Amino acid sequence: MAAGNHSSVTEFVLLGFTDLQELLFVIFLLSYIATLVGNLGMIILIRTNSQLHMPMYFFLSDLSFLDICCSSSTMPKLLSGLLAERNVISFSGCITQFFFFAVFGTTEAILLAIMAYDRYMAIHEPLHYLAAMSHGFCVQLVVASYTAGTLNAFVHTSTLLQLSFCGPNVINHFYCEIPPLLLLSCSSTWLNEVVMATCVGFIITASVLVIVVSYACILLTIWSIPSAEGRHKAFSTCTSHFTVVALFYGSAAFLYCQPFFRHSQDQGKTASIFYTTVTPMFNPVIYSLRNKEVRSTLRRAADSLLSHMYSPRSHSNHTKIDITCHRGVRRRNKTDT
């Protein structure tokens, strides 16, 4: 804690959800398992299939990794809190949870803007796409997004550590986040609100601007395609990304505008559920259903697995085992007689 901070609070109580805790535990546990399995499966599918070694799927695998990290920074504490009588988190644990959540959330916001630019390059410059979006350049973009996310989280965490928390210590949320924490501070939060408005406003504005400009150029390019089939094929590659963008930025904008427009904290928790649980869980589903290459790769992987399980060689092995067993039985019968 920073010098001169006279906080007496050493721990916080996460209020979370007070009704239907057993039912919510089952729902959130299943959604968390689905998030882990879906996103991890997407990463393995992309990394092990050579046909998916393209910039679009490289960014998609990074998006799946961020979804796992973002969900894992909040869900384990939420699940344990639903089973505990009193969900307590230490001051340092609360700050650490917020820091990592801010890193992954900011990085994902920037990565979605990068993916919009990638779709623009793929549709507008298809012949020079692989040269322009080389693997080295894609890695640089991902590293830049993580760097920006880390810097943003560091700025917010530094200003948060300057506040004094003298009580009460009950956070009306299921994880540590700036809006409910500012309501508990017994010192002025003016600087924190200005910093949050500046940083979050800049990141969201810049990312949305990149997305809007990219999709405007994409629509102009698609409109110039003579065949209807070509226009449909080009547009279909963007629908999954646009759906993910709408879910992510809609819930994030509602959550971070809350301190200034003073929505109810229950609405903030509802928006956070979409932000931390629903979006990471449905991202692999959206990309699997809307992307032809991913669907075909999944189908081939499933067919390969089934053919391996039910191959003639396995049947022949079972037959050999059965014959060996019958011979052993005959030999024992002869010995007995």
Model confidence over 60-71: pLDDT tens digits?
A: 999 999 999 999
- Note the pLDDT of residue 136: 94
- Note the pLDDT of residue 3: 42
- Note the pLDDT of residue 17: 82
pLDDT of 267 strictly over 70: no
Distance of CA 133 to the CA centre of its chain: 23
141 or 221, greater pLDDT: 141
pLDDT of 137 strictly over 90: yes
- Note the pLDDT of residue 2: 43
Pull the structure tokens for residue 165: 């928390």
Instruction: Report d(CA 319, CA 315) in Å as an integer.
Output: 6
14 or 270, greater pLDDT: 14
- Note the pLDDT of residue 168: 82
**pLDDT 10s digits, 4-37:** 444 577 889 888 887 788 899 999 999 999 999 9
- Note the pLDDT of residue 189: 87
The band of 158, judged by pLDDT with boundaries at 50, 70 and 90, is: very high
Instruction: Report d(CA 156, CA 192) in Å as an integer.
Output: 7
DSSP 195: H
The band of 282, judged by pLDDT with boundaries at 50, 70 and 90, is: confident
- Note the pLDDT of residue 206: 92
308 or 275, greater pLDDT: 275
Q: List, in order of start, the domains of the chain with CATH numbers.
A: 11-297 (1.20.1070.10)
Neighbours of 74 (CB within 10 A): 24
Residue with tokens 């300057």: 162
CB proximity list for 36: less than 8 A, separation 6 or greater: 68, 71, 72
CB proximity list for 129: less than 8 A, separation 6 or greater: 55, 121, 122
Contact of 112 with 280, CB cutoff 8 Å: no
- Note the pLDDT of residue 269: 74
Percent of the chain with pLDDT over 70: 77
| β pairing state of 170-171 and 88-90 | unpaired
127 or 290, greater pLDDT: 127
- Note the pLDDT of residue 108: 92
Please, where are the H alpha helices in the chain? 21-48, 55-72, 75-83, 91-124, 129-132, 135-160, 178-184, 190-223, 228-256, 258-261, 265-273, 279-290, 292-309, 312-336
- Note the pLDDT of residue 1: 41
Q: Measured at the alpha carbon of residue 180, what is the angle toward residues 263 and 68, in degrees to the nearest 5? A: 100
Q: What is the mean pLDDT of the chain?
A: 81
pLDDT of 73 strictly over 80: yes
Q: In terms of Cα–Cα distance, which of 83, 71, 66, 88 is closest to 15?
A: 88
- As a whole number, mean pLDDT of residues 128-153 equals 94
Contact of 84 with 7, CB cutoff 8 Å: no
Partners of 11 in the β-ladder? 90
**pLDDT 10s digits, 86-117:** 889 999 999 999 999 999 999 999 999 999 99
The dihedral formed by the CA atoms of 165, 170, 176 and 180, expressed in degrees to the nearest 10? -80
**pLDDT 10s digits, 193-220:** 899 888 888 988 899 899 999 989 888 8
Instruction: Report d(CA 149, CA 170) in Å as an integer.
Output: 28
Of the listed ranges 16-30, 44-58, 295-309, the one predicted with least confidence: 295-309
- Note the pLDDT of residue 309: 67
Instruction: Determine the 3-state secondary structure of 235 from DSSP.
Output: helix
Residue with tokens 């504490």: 77
